Structure 1
């Protein structure tokens, strides 16, 4: 995959505090690349340096071969951004905002088609103040990509949204990527990162802990699965323990907990069917990205 963003040993200080401390990663063209970490980890500062909004104190950045500080004008033509906080004048209508932002670019997309794709076609004459939180986020995404960018930087765009609006926004991000846009997604939501990102840079206290796929992070920690169920009839534990996929069987009250790897669910349910045993209250538990973060940093993401 061709690299479209390269960040090497990035350093940014504010006063005597180092906010970004030697951050390095690359982003491949066409992927959704996540920057994941707790609040205050240096995520937003990092992407602001990528966008040319902040001047680094050390290291180097290249975006499609451009230096964000020296070639800012050229960069604006190929990079769109949805900032952590986006506000427009209360009385500005959706149509007026799209016409205004579209006029900033030499080769914008058809903003009417874009607005239709984002489900805002019936809000063209609606003032910004009258849009719902989800509609404002859709509009901010539209403004970020109306310039027909190769890259879109989306910073904490689902913060404050209800669960349904958040999932709707995730669908929109995938559709933007399907348009051929490389996306850099800044987030502290684990579920969002797991759902959307091809790869992730895990950042904590201004440093990159690791870069990998969501599945790769989980595999680094523990790729085992756990099945919990209540057998409908007595069951010889040795039958379960004898399955190649099973590494451990233990009882937890009235439940059995079976730990293993590979296609564990299929192996266990097939055996239960052969023994005419029903798995009541069956749950499948796997190591999550949140578990990986705790293992790699020693603390929870929300602390």
Structure 2
């Protein structure tokens, strides 16, 4: 059956509906750029967060702030500033998918919700694309060219939380860090800055500390256990004076180990004793430097873990292995 077309006649009730829809749109959209405003963006974030909880999905949030936007207003007037904001809105809308949401959340601040994006790398690619696209000059009606940039902060849900305002605040903090470090940069939440556990340096494997001389092997094991104990305490937030004493005990334990080596070299007439003594002093100084400041953020703690474990591995690899080889060559063990 073919549907007949009925001529449309406007009525007062239809007019009221259109008026209601118009004001409803204005309530949730930015009047300048036409983008969703903060209220609508938070509503869509809450909808996504409900999906995250229910279906174990995820999304990325990018907060974007224009660099030197106030200077544009001061030098060219607010009409020029409005033109820049509209141009930025167009760049953002064209840089993401239809399923994503771009909003203007403040004067020169924008937010992007990347639906289903669960990796730091994927979100970073989008942010880099956006920042690069905004590097092109914007031409005003009078022919003046304006060049601006942007700084971005990235968080992921569920990794960084399940609350919209919390995620936006976290992304803003990451963005401010990027802005303070220089223009046109990307910042990440502390959770995303932390190196993945799989790539974090691990303690020396037991086999690497076994050289066949029991007293050295036991000392290696004790040194490694001491280092891991201090690192675990730092991970748990312990910055007490007791921890400083444990660091001093670690240094003393390493000094005893070095003295054991030096005594063996002297007893069995192994060459290079003076060089070893000098190297041991340098190693102790380096160890103190590694643990010199116990107020770490997560990224710095990952570096400390690497440096401390590498400190021990390097010593065993470059000094003790050679010493044991010389002792065995002399038939001592």
Q: What TM-score, normalized by structure 1, do the two folds share?
A: 0.29
User: Which structure is higher in RCO with an 8 Å CA cutoff and minimum separation 6?
Assistant: 1
More strand by share: 1
